[in-house]
Amino acid sequence: MKKYIPLIAASLLLCLFIYVFYRTEKTLVNQFVITLFSHENYAAVKASITTMLPLNEYLIYSLPEGLWVFCITLTSSFFYLKVQNRKWSLAFVPIVVALIMEMLQLFRVTKGRFDLMDITFATGFWLLALFWTRTNRGKESFFESLNARTICCAMSYCIVYLAHVT
């Protein structure tokens, strides 16, 4: 997993940048930033950045989901869950969660807008992560040991919560 850490960090920092400066102030991460720096400072910096660096809607709304699926798949690819004597690879959980989230938006169970482009980005980045991690044969049970890899994996799932709209 060590070889993926710089890629995961860069991807998550790009997601953070997009969320903080291009997405609604009602996300948890933006509420946290506003609390730290004041609404006035946040609004001024956000206005400057969005003026200097306008981004396409797909980059603002679909890329972060794809990158999160990518990062979570990279960290999950080392683990499995054992259910009734069967081993289930955690590498499939990120795409399943992304698809379920989109379906919940489609049926207006959760906030957000159903978007096929989100599904396209998520699927593309998931496949890319699967391709890169296809040699991870020595998978370990996720709940049997607490180490840096399990913590990194768990944190990659938890960080997605910061995108939640309040």
* Domain extent listing, the chain: 2-163
| Cα-based angle 96, 97, 103 (whole degrees, multiple of 5) | 90
Region 125-148 average pLDDT = 88
| Cα-based angle 27, 29, 33 (whole degrees, multiple of 5) | 115
With cut-offs at 50, 70 and 90, classify the pLDDT of residue 120.
Answer: very high
Region 114-123 average pLDDT = 96
Q: Are 63 and 117 in contact (CB under 8 A)?
A: no
Residue 136 confidence (pLDDT) above 70: no
Of 3-12, 52-61, 80-89, 138-147, the range with the lowest mean pLDDT is 138-147
